[in-house]
A and B are shown apart, each in its own frame.
Chain A
Amino acid sequence: DTEVTQTPKHLVMGMTNKKSLKCEQHMGHRAMYWYKQKAKKPPELMFVYSYEKLSINESVPSRFSPECPNSSLLNLHLHALQPEDSALYLCASSQAGLAAYNEQFFGPGTRLTVL
Chain B
Amino acid sequence: SQQGEEDPQALSIQEGENATMNCSYKTSINNLQWYRQNSGRGLVHLILIRSNEREKHSGRLRVTLDTSKKSSSLLITASRAADTASYFCATNLMGAQKLVFGQGTRLTINP
Which chain A residues have a beta carbon within 8 Å of chain B's beta carbons?
4, 6, 40-45, 48, 50, 55-56, 88, 90, 92, 98-109, 111
Contact = CB atoms under 8 A, between A and B. Distances in A.
Nearest to B93: A100
Interface in B36-66: 40-45, 48
Given A42-B104, A43-B101, A100 B96 contact: yes
A86 B100 CA distance: 21
Contacts, number: 65
A109 B96 contact: no
B24 to A, nearest CB: 14
Contacts of B92: 100-101
B98 A103 contact: no
Contact of B99 (A40, A104, A111): A104
B46 to A, nearest CB: 9
Contacts of A98: 97
Contacts of A41: 103-104
